[in-house]
Structures are given as structure tokens and as C-alpha cells.
Structure 1
Amino acid sequence: MSTLDCSDEIGKYHDDKVTLRENDRRDMRERRDNGRTRLERGLTEAEHPQPKMVCSQGSYQMRTMVQDDDCDYDIDDGVYFRPEDLRDAEGRDLSPRQARQRVCDALTRDQRFASPAEVHDNCVRQEYQAGYHIDMPVYRVRLEKDEGGSEREVYELASGDTWQVSDARAVTKWFKDAVHDLNGDDGQDGLQMRRVVRLTKMFARSRGEWKAETTSGITLSKLVVDEFRPSADRDDVALRDTWSAIAARLQGSSAVDHPVNPAPLAKAGNEKVAFFHDKLAEALVTLEVLDEDDCTRNEARAAWDTVFNKTHFSKLPDPREPEGGKRAFFVATESKSDRRDDGNGRYGAGASR
């Protein structure tokens, strides 16, 4: 456990530079809603049936999306059709690729976009000039009978040329249930876990060249949920302890199970998980300075800056608790008065209080 308390610094970094700003969420919500309207109009004009439902999913719905300097935001909005509504004029079932093409054609009837919608292997994508893009995975919802004879819905994703059993809403429910279970009646552990997920995702993409090399957001979320180590009022400790547990686990195997589907998120030997593990191990070594008896706050902040590839921490004012209970702020110095002398995170007698 870190003996130098950096919870204030981590909290401010999370709030200012990591968690999605409300105006960004509002912009994404408006684009999502506009996309739904365009889809509805396009299908109506083509005289095709409307979907049974359209549901937000992924990190936006889980509230684990993080800020990105390049505005590289991925909004997932699943489109769910009944099988009978995915047929051509002759009544033949659409293939998975044809189903995605129908959604793409409906979106591109609106000619106001510089970049038309495109069919990808697992979705239809609409790019926006601001850097956002909306992915619309296409699903069909089949009814089948279970062993007891009762009907249940089966959700199948139009993936490549196959219909693959999958429902991203179940992943969202899994994560929200994990947050709820940790919170209990009055606790905050689930909220802390969500913050640790965001901080982990921010670290994993903290260098531009890492984005294509590291593992997916859902894999990172699964690792944090599996290995989460709460710490009351100490997000810095929860983050380091969780990262240490993840690193120890990945040292043994890079396999990561999917939270709801039988197919894993990553198999043993997965290169992107291994890349993340290597960078995480390096970060943990960098943060070892926080445990040294003579570590200064400047040294601790420099370590966090190195980990997240920022200068945010070193530029923070230094809060001290003066008499009267009001906080005074001034820039941290490297003087010996800034070194701990009592082992509990406070500072030497020569420091201003």
C-alpha cells in the first residue's frame, strides 16, 4: 500500500482529465438520437420494417467512457430486428451482410454527411467530422423453446457472414450489477470500481501508439471487475492494488473470459493482452517510488505523470490544512520540509499548515 497519500491528486485527475465531460456526453447523445431518426426515416422511405428496438450499449451506457484528445469516441447503438423483418422482396431471409447493408443504406439516404455510413464486419459505422463515430451492430431476435417448453428470446449479431449468438445489453447489465453489488446498501466501492475502470482505460491508451497495440475496453473492464481491490477514501491505493492483482494474474496467463458469452475475450497468448501487461508492469515499477520513506510529493506526482504520460500532476497546487480548517494552495517544492517524518502521510514541522 502507498504510504504517501495521492488520493486528492488522483481524484482531481479523474474528474478533470479522465471521466467524460457532460457536454461531450450531451453531444454524443444528440448524435445517437439523430442517427436513430435517420435510420427510422431511411427504412420508412425504402418501405422496410422498423427494428423491434434500438439500445445503447458499450462503454457509453456503462459510463466508463474516457476523454480522448483526438475525440476518438465510439458510441455503440444496437439495432434489433425480428427475423420476419429481415427479408427481401421475395420473402427470403437476409444474410448477416445483407442485414447490415440494409441499415447502412437507410442511414446514407441522408446526404448531408461528408462521410457516408460504411458496412463493417460487426456493425454499420457513421463517422462524424468532430472525430466521433457511431457503431450500429445489427441483431436479429429469435424465439426458441427451452428444455421446459417455454419460449425465450435469442439475440444474434450479424457478424461477418454468420449470425453469432450475442447481446451486448447483457454485458452492460453484468457491469452495472457488479457496481450495484459492490455498493451494497450504503457503500461506495462500486463507484470506486467504475473510477478504477476509467483510470485503467485511460492508462492503456495514454500514448497514441498504444491504442492499436493494447487490448479492448471490455477486456480491461473485465480484468478490473475480476481483480478489484477497494480502499476506502483512497482511489490511489485501490488503483495500484488492482493493477498489481491484474499484473500478477496476467503473468500466469493472458486468457480472459467473456462476462456473459462462452467465447473468451482473449485466449492464452493474446498479443494485445500481453502488451497491456508489459506496460502495466512498467507502470507499477515507476510507482514504487511512492513507498520509499523519503519520497517527496513532487517525486510522487512526477511518477503519476510518467504513468499517464501527462504533466497534470506536477502542475497541481499543493493543498495543506491550515488552522481554521480552510485549505491553502501553493506549488509543491522539493525542499526537505516536504518530506514525511511521521510515516502517516503528513509533512515535516517546517511546512506551512
Structure 2
Amino acid sequence: MGQASTLFNGNVEQTLIARVSPTAAQREFLQSSWNTLADHLRSSLKAKHGYTISTWLQGSYKYGTLIKPVHPDEAYDVDLGVYFEWEGDEDVTPTAQQLRTWVQEEIKLFAGTCEDLKSVSEPPKPRCSRANYVRQFHIDTPVYHLNRDSDERRLACLDGTWEDSDPKAFYKWFKNAVDSGERDQVRRLVRYLKAWAAVSFDDVPQARPTSIFLTVLVTESFKKIGTLTRFIGIDDDDALIEVVRNMHARLLEDKHVQNPASDIDENLNRMNAEAWDVFAARLNQLLDIAERADVAEDEAAAAVIWSEAFSFLMPLPEAEELEVVDEESGRAVMLLPEIEVQIFKRGTTERLATHQNEVLGVLRDRDLKFVITNPHVVPQFASVEWTVRNAGGEADEASDLGHRSYGLRQLSTDEHTAYAGKHYMDCVIRLHGQVHALRRVPVVVKDMLPAERSPVRNAPWRRIKTKRRR
């Protein structure tokens, strides 16, 4: 059993899969939105142009590998294919540009009747139109010609060309690639790797791997795990470690990733040489993280290691202190940092309250300053990481799950409150890459408080100890 398996996909308050997957309310909104648009396009386009119109979901939503946006400036992407049906030997047929114009104009007309549809991207994308919705969501509508007699599909491109493209073939490949009993786990593994990509390539987006690239690699790498191991069952974190190992070895041998559903040579690795070098370096880092997590002493140690890959998305154990002790002596490697939290009226220097190691109640729209009050315990060349882990419906709705800052002996950091719920500021002290101590500061944001004042703590600390090998 993996040390951190419960935190990946277990029966606890916070799991990695829950933090990266759309909530039930978000899924309901997505489904309602695309259904309404699909119904409109099918009926309206047929009435105006006379062709039989069908629609078909494709992409991550169809495969069950969609993740929520992990940054406030990102959006969900749902792909809704629009198919104009006619036989290939018809004398007069519309051009690719005509199909694209018809669909673009119809979506713009629909936008005038749909309150949730904010705008339609203009000009349209080379291979689709885009409808931008509220709640960080857009629907891409690629347009196809479908010949049902031959079951052939052609994608209509904006430049007037037709492109051989069959999203249905890829879906069939994915569905048949692994047994039905293993498919849900493969979907989770794809989402874990997509989450890693979402937080690991902010500075070099051109090196961020595409969803289809990761889907193929994860599926192929999962199939290389021993049949007996898969039959008995393997925890998600252990499976992820094996998948990362297999991916790394496979790409080291050949970086060409063939589309398994294509009859022609279609390389899904579209990175240029510079982007590939960045991706390969970060995949090496991910492999190192996975190897260290594999030999971690306990759940807390494994979770902190995995957080190097998943940042604020990775939940930590429900504790407020993590004390690192030497395996042989049993003594703490260093004293825990004591953290003072100063509460200010937003945008001012007026201090309203001071808390120690926790904030059991604070209003929205307050400025917070976190300060290590015993800086002498922080080694001279230690790195101090401050990671905000937001939780709750409001943070989910805003796709603001957290962020991280760090620096050499960065003894303080500033934040502000925005979402109701229980959140954490996690302070990790590292020296030469090794964790020396971790302090979790819970911050409970409320809509109303009896009074904002400095509290007296009554509850005992919850402390976890983790061993560190020499």
C-alpha cells in the first residue's frame, strides 16, 4: 500500500483527486451548457441549411479525464463536435469555409439568448469556434463533414482546407486500451499528470504537455505494469510511481509519440527542441520526486515530497505540526517555527488582531501577515516555503486552490482573505533539499464574527512525527 494512497484517493476530507476534479455542481453546469448549445445547433443549422446535423462530445470531458482550472485565469475546455452529414458523391457541397461561417454565426446568434454565454471568440480558432461562458468555462466547436456510408470524417479548417480527423477513433482506442475494471484508475492517473503539468509549466507554457499526449503515455505506461499487480490491485500513488518510471524510460528511448488511433504517421509530441528540453528536465524532476516518495517513511513524509510536484494541489495530513526526527537518535532535526499571524483592515496598517499558529476566525477581505517569531531556529541557508491551500465551494468556484512563494530564509509573507472556509498556510523549511520542519497554520474565514480579537488557545496541538534516514 502506498504511503500517501489515502491522500490521493481515499476516504478523507481532502484528496488530490477531489481537489483537481470538477465538483458535482461544476459538472452539472458544464453538462447543461453543452446540451443546450448542442440542441440549438442541431435544430437551427438543419432548418437554415437543410443538412442533417449531429453533435458528439470529444476530448477530456468525453474520456473522463477533465480537471478543473487550477489558476483563476484558466478555463474548462469542453469540445463539442458539430457534424454536417452528406454522401460523398453529392454534386454540390458546401466548402470548409462555408461550414465554419455557418457555425460561427449561429453561435453568435445563440449568445444573444443565453445569459451564461459571455462572448464568442472573434476571429474563430483555426480548427474550431469558441463560446466563452461564465464560471471559467468555454465550449470549442470543431466542424466536420460526416459521410455515414463510409463512416469517414473531415475537419473543416478556417483556411478552407479539409483535414482528416476522427476523434471517435481515438475514443474507441482509449476505451479498449485497458479493461473496464482498470479504466477509472487510468483516468485518475491521467488527471494527476495533467495537474502536475498545470502547476509545473507556468513559466514555460510552450513546454506544457497536451492532454492527448499525456493520455496516450499514461495509458501505454499503465499497461506495462505487471498483469498480476494490476489484477490484485495497486494504489494510486504506487501506480503513479510506476507510470512515471515507464514514461521516463519510454521517452528517453524515443520522444516520438504516435497517435494510436491514426492510420498515418501523426506525432503527438509537437514540442520544438527548446520546449522539449524543458519538458524532459521537469520529467526528470518528477521521476526523482516519485522515487523519493516511494521510499518515504510515512504518509506525512510522502505527502510533503509529492507536494514538490503538485504544489498547493497536494493535500497534507490533517495535523498542524510535522516534526522531523532523526531515525537513529529519535531527536527532532530542528525546533518547529512559531508563526504569528497579524490581521489588518484591508489596505491599511490598522492591526485588528494577532494570532499564534492558527486563526480560528477572520472576516473576508482582511490582510494577513505571517511571521516566524523564532527565526533563530531557521538554518542560515535554509529555504522557507509558504504554501496557501484553499478549500471549500467558493475557492473551487473561483478555481483558486492556492499558490506558493519561497525564498532563502523568507521569514514572513503577506496574504489576504477572500473565500469562506477552512484553509491552510503551510510553512516548510528545507535545507539542501531536505525537509527540516513543517508548520500548518489553519485559517478559518467566516462571514460574521462576534469580534475580531487576539484569542487564547485552549485546544492541544496535533503533531505528527516523521523519521528521516541518515
Give the TM-score of the pair, scaled to structure 2: 0.59
Trace 1:179-328 onto structure 2 (pairs within 5 A): 179=178, 181=179, 183=180, 188-207=181-200, 208-228=202-222, 229=225, 232-261=233-262, 262-266=264-268, 270-271=272-273, 272=275, 274-292=277-295, 295-310=297-312, 312-314=314-316, 316-317=317-318
The residue that corresponds to 1:36 in the other structure is 38
Structure 2: give runs of 5+ residues left out of the alignment: 331-463
2:290/2:306 contact within 8 Å kept = yes
For the pair shown, the structure with the greater C-alpha radius of gyration is 2
1:283/1:307 contact within 8 Å kept = yes
Question: Which structure is higher in strand share?
Answer: 2
Residues of 2 paired with 1:52 and 1:20: CA distance?
30
Distance 1:94 1:298, change over 3 A: same
2:96/2:160 contact within 8 Å kept = yes
Residues of 2 paired with 1:164 and 1:215: CA distance?
23
Trace 1:309-348 onto structure 2 (pairs within 5 A): 309-310=311-312, 312-314=314-316, 316-317=317-318, 330=319, 333-334=322-323, 336=325
The residue that corresponds to 1:80 in the other structure is 83
Residues of 1 paired with 2:277 and 2:98: CA distance?
36
1:255/1:264 contact within 8 Å kept = no
Distance 1:61 1:338, change over 3 A: farther
Letter in 2 for 1:57: Q
Letter in 2 for 1:153: D
Letter in 2 for 1:156: R
1:299 positional shift: 3.0
Q: Is 1:9 aligned to 2:7, yes or no?
A: yes
- Please give the secondary structure, in 1, of the residue aligned with 2:315: coil
2:293/2:306 contact within 8 Å kept = no
Residues of 2 paired with 1:40 and 1:189: CA distance?
35
Q: Aligned residues: percent identity?
A: 25
Trace 1:139-218 onto structure 2 (pairs within 5 A): 139-142=144-147, 152-159=150-157, 160-179=159-178, 181=179, 183=180, 188-207=181-200, 208-218=202-212
Structure 1: give runs of 5+ residues left out of the alignment: 144-150, 318-329, 342-346
Which of the numbers 127, 130, 141 marks the counterpart of 2:132? Answer: 127
Letter in 2 for 1:170: A
Question: Which structure is higher in helix share?
Answer: 1
Trace 1:50-89 onto structure 2 (pairs within 5 A): 50-69=51-70, 70=72, 72-83=75-86
More deviation, 330-339/99-108: 330-339
Residues of 1 paired with 2:205 and 2:24: CA distance?
24
The residue that corresponds to 1:103 in the other structure is 103
1:269 positional shift: 6.8
1:42/1:107 contact within 8 Å kept = no
2:212/2:268 contact within 8 Å kept = no
1:313 positional shift: 2.9
Give the TM-score of the pair, scaled to structure 1: 0.77
The alignment's C-alpha RMSD in Å is 3.1
1:161 positional shift: 2.6
Letter in 1 for 2:129: V
